[in-house]
Each structure stands twice: as C-alpha cells, then as structure tokens.
Amino acid sequence: MKARILKNIEWGILICCIALFIIGCISLYSATQEANYVELKRQILWLIVSLPIMIAVICIDYSTIAKIAPIFYGIFIILLIAVLFTKPINGASSWFTIREGVQIQPSEFAKIFVIMTFAYLMVIFQKKDKNAINKPWKLLAVLAVVIVPVLLIIKQPDYGTAIAFMIATILMLFVAGIDKRYIIGAILIVAIALPLVYFFVLPDHAKTRIDVFLNPNLDARGAGYNVIQSKLAIGSGGLLGMGLLKGNQTQLGFLYPKTTDFIFSVIGEEMGFLVAGAVIVLYVILITKAIYVAKTAKDDLGSYIAMGIVGIFLFHMIENIGMTMGLLPITGVPLPFVSYGGSSLVTNFICIGLLLNISGRRQKTIFMDERL
C-alpha cells in the first residue's frame, strides 16, 4: 500500500471500531458465561475473518470496487429471494443456516452493494447531466436499485434493516443535491402513508410492537416484557454499574436476546452510565469522522458511498440504543461492532474498509465541497 494512502487514512475511525468491539467482547463475556462463552468465541473468530477482508477492501481502489458492485448486487438480489424460502428463525426468514449455530444473513451484506451500486449509477447519470438526479424518470430509475431489495427485506420480514437502507438512501440523495420539492413531497407522502400502513399493511406482531412502544404496560408479560426488563437493567446500573457477572437482569435471564438486540442493556447494567456513555461518544466520533471523509473525498463517488455508510451506522446506533431505553420501537437491529453476529460484524468492517479506502485516496487540502 502506498505511503501517501497510509498517511491520509482516517485512523481514528478504526480506533473507534476496535474500542467498540472490545467493549462488546467484555459484555459478551458476561452475557455468555452460562453457555461456556460460545458466542464470545465465535465473535472473535468472526473478527479474525473480518480483518483480512477489511485490509483487502482498503487496498483496492473504491472506484474499481464500485464498477463490479452491480454484479454482486444481482447476486444478493437472488439470495434475498432465496432466503424467503428458508425456515423462519424467530419469525423471520432472514438467514441461511450453514451449520448448527452458524447463519449467514444476506440482507447485511446487501447493504454494501446496494449503497455502492446506487452511488455508481448516480455518478454515471450525473456525468452527462449534473442535474440528472432531479429529473423524475432518472430519479425513479436510480431509486429502483434500493426499492427492490427493500421490498424483499420487508417480506422476510425485517423492518429495521429496510429502514436502514432508506436512511442511507436519503443521505446519499441529499449529498447528490436532490431538489427540496422532492424532500417536501416525500415528507408529505410518509405522513399520509404511515397511518394507512399501520392499519392496512403491518402484520399484527408489528402493530403490537408499536402499541407496546407507546405503552409497554399494555402487555407487561408478553410483548412489553423485553423493553421493561431492558429499562430496569439500564436504570439499575447507576453511574459505575453493578459489576461484570453481577447484573440481576443479565445473569438471571430476564434480558432476551442479551447478546444481540439488548447488548447495550448489559453494558448499562453491569458497566454503568460511564461506559454506556462512552459507547455513545465513540459512535458520535465514528460518524463525525465518516462525514468528514465524505466531505474530503476526491470525487462524488467517494462522497456518496461514505454518506451511505454514515446512514447505516447512524440508524443502527440510534435505533438499537433507543429501543433498549424504550424511546423507539423494538426492531431487532444490532449495535454495530458490539452486538454478537458474524454477518453484521463482517459487513461493518467492510464498511470501515471502504471509509478508510476513501479517506486514503482523498486530497487533504479539500476541507469542504459544494456537493455537501
């Protein structure tokens, strides 16, 4: 790797990720002691798999990766269709089971290639016409890249991941210079569609999650149980926490699933407000630096990809932490680098590889771009 690339890389991004991963492993150590630390061991193995892939992504120019992204996009569309025919796990057909205890979630990996294909097509359209993104038919053609996988993911159903795609798309369009009339129109459509979706589209279990979010005590022993236990765990942690292996909700089995959806509750209960707050600060630094990478990217393609990744990380952080505190509905979205999950961890480190890739190939004299 060229010395100039290494010098330009925003290493603070990687440091934040490693710090978050370490906190996650400490939490998994406490949360998996009764299961012989199986998930902790697997998480470390997934890290060993992730790091060489991340390094490979850094070494290959992101413009080259973007050119082949549509091929992988097509492959993952096929996988998103195929996964619908698998046996549901926890009510969702989202995973291919490789062997016992090992599942692959194609929607996680699809994030990368949807973002890159979307960015690549926008750049192609804007080469001929800088204002192409504001022409309705071209905008619809580009949006189709996101709409197809989102509909397939909703079918699984996995509403959290589908929303992550939408947030990434919105940020990328904003950076691309989408006209305000489209933004206002989208807001109006969403405002009208939300009640219609709630009453006529959402399945009963999704409606229940929203109702319970508004009032967990409606079903304190059923749908509201997890969020109530999560809030109790975080609240009982205090400033310094109850100590590793000593959290009541964590160790007595009241939190579920404590290694994935509610890992932040484990942190809050056993490590306290200081460490939980540090986790949030690390995410803020990570996202801020990722936005800076988008601002200083050498071209539009790099800016679009970086902002798409910002959207993914931003939504996952806000949604996961928000749902554990009862501030947002439960969607089953993992906390990046902290929650247990092989597909999620590999995908997140690929995203970090892309951010480091873009930052390494930028011109550091460019601090702000009119695109943004």
Give the number of other Cβ atoms within 10 Å of residue 60's Cβ: 12
- Which of 223, 194, 253 is closest to 326 using CA atoms? 223
The mean per-residue pLDDT over the stretch 46-51 comes to 96
Contacts of 256 (CB under 8 A, 6+ apart): 226, 229, 262
What pTM did the predictor assign? Answer: 0.92
The amino acid occupying position 267 is I
370: confidence class by pLDDT, cuts 50, 70, 90: very low
- Cα maximum dimension of the chain: 62
Q: Would you state the structure tokens that stand for residue 151, as one six-digit string? A: 């509909």
Q: Residue 62: what pLDDT?
A: 95
pLDDT at residue 330, as a whole number: 85
Neighbours of 252 (CB within 10 A): 9
Q: What mean pLDDT, rounded, does the chain reach? A: 90
Q: Is the pLDDT of residue 371 over 60?
A: no
pLDDT tens for 228-284 read: 999 999 999 999 999 999 999 999 889 888 999 999 999 999 999 999 999 999 999
For 118, residues 6+ apart whose C-beta sits below 8 A from its C-beta are 142, 145, 146, 169, 172, 304, 308
Q: Is the pLDDT of residue 6 over 90?
A: no
Q: For the chain, where are the E strands, in sequence order?
A: 96-99, 102-104
Beta bridge partners of 103: 97
DSSP state of 238: T
pLDDT of residue 126 exceeding 70, the answer is: yes
pLDDT tens digits along 69-97: 999 999 999 999 999 998 888 778 898 98
Find out whether 213 and 199 touch, Cβ atoms under 8 Å: no
Mean pLDDT in residue range 135-151: 92
Estimate to the nearest angstrom the gap between the alpha carbon of 120 and the chain centroid: 20
In the structure encoding, which two tokens stand for residue 342, read together? Answer: 């092989």
Reported confidence tier of residue 1, pLDDT bands at 50, 70, 90: low
3-state secondary structure of 93: coil
- Please write the tens of the pLDDT for every residue from 309-336: 999 999 999 999 999 998 888 888 999 9
Predicted local distance difference test score (pLDDT) of residue 369? 44
CA distance 54 to 43: 16
Q: What is the pLDDT of residue 256?
A: 87
Q: Return the percentage of the chain with pLDDT > 70, whole number.
A: 97
pLDDT at 31 over 70: yes
Query: Domain-by-domain residue ranges, the chain?
Result: 3-360
What whole-number distance in Å separates Cα of residue 211 and Cα of residue 223? Answer: 9
